[in-house]
């Protein structure tokens, strides 16, 4: 074995193992180094609270990894995996779950195929809003799958719209039983959205699933918030369960105003004859213009 070889494959320089990274191979067959694996996340359950975000741009993904975010969720379309591939390239060492839209699959075979496409794109697992039947099929295929409980926006008509869920004993028991069904189906994690904080804390202590809390308090194993909420990328109002650590929306408004002002100043300079000025032009060498006019005028007069 030569010095640049590894028993599990040749390493490119940027993929050399770093402190805190774990050598692994994705289900899609790619050698990788990750900050976490499913097993590491399971082992951390109940011991610490990790951080998670969903970047919407590759720049956000790069920043999230550089900052040290523990896990990422990214949007995913099985028919067009290019965006997920770009996100993986932007954050090559961060555990990444891709979110497959509810209506992209209708059968167990389609769910497994979509999961394999996601894993080939570099995902470490998938997240879905499917029921136990499809979750079981994907889990049986060896694909790490995260379920979704509580407020599921696409299914919110069943729970009374975009509102908190679990504020009655009937709803609380329904959420708990739903999470139990996901666990029995083979899921390894569950995103729990907008339920009472104390309820998630109790449920999380009663399930082996790694719980990702979005708007459900600090009782979960992972704290999840969209990158655009963290960075303040939109105009207020923001969802109650979010906190803005930057105001990129206002910064972008200021930048846009600067763009407009720049164009206006340019227009005015042109109209006043101030652009281009002496330092923006190339002057002809002495005698060139006389020679040019003589040549042109002489030709045109024949």
pLDDT at residue 2, as a whole number: 40
pLDDT at residue 8, as a whole number: 33
Q: Are 183 and 146 in contact (CB under 8 A)?
A: no
pLDDT at residue 63, as a whole number: 98
pLDDT at residue 298, as a whole number: 83
pLDDT at residue 271, as a whole number: 98
Q: Are 171 and 194 in contact (CB under 8 A)?
A: no
Give 45's DSSP letter. T
Q: Print burial letters for 11-32: b (CB count within 10 Å at least 16), e (below 16).
A: eeeebeeeeebeebebbeebeb
Q: Are 191 and 149 in contact (CB under 8 A)?
A: yes
What is the set of active-site residues?
193
pLDDT in tens, the chain (302 residues): 343 333 333 333 344 345 689 999 998 898 999 999 999 999 999 999 999 999 999 999 999 999 999 999 999 999 999 999 999 999 999 999 999 999 999 999 999 999 999 999 999 999 999 999 999 999 999 999 999 999 999 999 999 999 999 999 999 999 999 999 999 999 999 999 999 999 999 999 999 999 999 999 999 999 999 999 999 999 999 999 999 999 999 999 999 999 999 999 999 999 999 999 999 999 999 999 999 999 999 864 44
pLDDT at residue 1, as a whole number: 36
Say which CATH architecture domain 13-246 belongs to. Alpha-Beta Barrel (3.20)
User: What is the Cα–Cα distance from 200 to 194, expressed in whole angstroms?
Assistant: 9
Q: At what angle do helices 132-140 and 108-120 cross, to 10 degrees?
A: 50
pLDDT at residue 251, as a whole number: 98
Domain extent listing, the chain: 13-246, 252-301
């Amino acid at each position: 074995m030569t010095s640049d070889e590894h028993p599990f494959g040749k390493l490119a320089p940027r993929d050399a193992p770093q402190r805190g990274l774990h050598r692994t191979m994705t289900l899609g067959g790619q050698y990788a180094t990750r900050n976490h694996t499913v097993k590491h996340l399971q082992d951390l359950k109940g011991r610490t609270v990790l951080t998670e975000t969903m970047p919407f741009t590759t720049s956000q993904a790069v920043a999230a990894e550089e900052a040290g975010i523990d896990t990422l969720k990214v949007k995913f379309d099985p028919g067009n995996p290019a965006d997920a591939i770009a996100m993986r390239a932007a954050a090559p060492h961060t555990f990444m779950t891709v979110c497959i839209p509810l209506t992209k699959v209708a059968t167990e075979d389609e769910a497994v195929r979509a999961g394999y496409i996601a894993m080939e794109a570099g995902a470490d697992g998938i997240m879905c809003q499917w029921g136990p039947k499809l979750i079981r099929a994907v889990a049986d295929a060896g694909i790490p799958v995260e379920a979704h409980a509580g407020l599921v926006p696409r299914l919110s008509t069943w729970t009374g719209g975009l509102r908190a869920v679990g504020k009655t004993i009937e709803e609380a028991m329904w959420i708990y039983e739903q999470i139990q069904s996901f666990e029995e189906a083979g899921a390894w994690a569950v995103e729990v959205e907008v339920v009472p904080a104390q309820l998630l804390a109790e449920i999380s202590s009663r399930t082996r699933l790694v719980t990702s809390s979005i708007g459900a308090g600090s009782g979960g194993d992972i704290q999840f918030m969209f990158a655009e909420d963290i960075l303040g990328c939109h105009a207020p109002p923001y969802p109650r369960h979010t906190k803005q650590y930057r105001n990129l929306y206002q910064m972008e408004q200021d930048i846009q105003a600067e763009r407009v002002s720049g164009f206006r100043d340019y227009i005015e300079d042109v109209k006043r004859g101030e652009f281009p000025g002496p330092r923006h032009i190339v002057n002809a060498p002495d005698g060139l213009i006389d020679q040019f006019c003589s040549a042109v005028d002489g030709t045109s007069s024949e």
